[in-house]
Structure 1
Amino acid sequence: MANIRLGAVALLALLTLGFFLEQADAAGCCLSYVKKPFPCHRMKGYTIQDSKTTCDMDAIIFHTKGGKFICADPSKEWTSRRINCLKERAQSIA
């Protein structure tokens, strides 16, 4: 009987941990886009947020040199220009 209780407690702990990890991952999602473009020289990289995963919308997340994150609409022309700028900068370093 004690083994069953211990198993039930362990299962409950795993389910709770999984719930909190999922919530923590969702907290890192973009929920809206910036309205104005940011200059390329302020950015150091980017990641792609895909709505097919845990987040609800597609976005490009630019990483600034100040350690902040900027959520951009991937369909905007300025977003593509910033991505190209970052790629060109990376190629010039290599």
Structure 2
Amino acid sequence: MLKIGAIIVNVADRHRGAEFWAKALGYEHDEHNQDFLFDPSGKGTRVHVDETDRSHLDLWAEPGQAQAEVERLLALGATKPDWVYPEGADFVVLADTEGNLFCIIGD
């Protein structure tokens, strides 16, 4: 089972973007990284504002299930774009049937 772990929002100015989204959603800044926002009620999805990454979803897989989820999504029509991964990456980049990128996080 997948869940939306974070929504990544591309912004030109991360400080301005983080302030806007925090106020718009009633979220708070993570004390360790002001670019990560969270719902203080614990019900909402985390938001990460980023100046270099494009807007996309991070989908979190249950422990030990990331590869199975990747295979399931590929069978549903997702594709695996060419991607340069950093060493030790804990994610897989996929594209939906319309070409929108998203990440599977886990394992």
Q: TM-score, normalised by structure 2?
A: 0.29
User: Which of 1 and 2 has greater Rg?
Assistant: 1
The structure, 1 or 2, with the larger RCO (C-alpha pairs under 8 Å, 6+ apart) is 2
Q: More strand by proportion, 1 or 2?
A: 2
Q: TM-score, normalised by structure 1?
A: 0.31
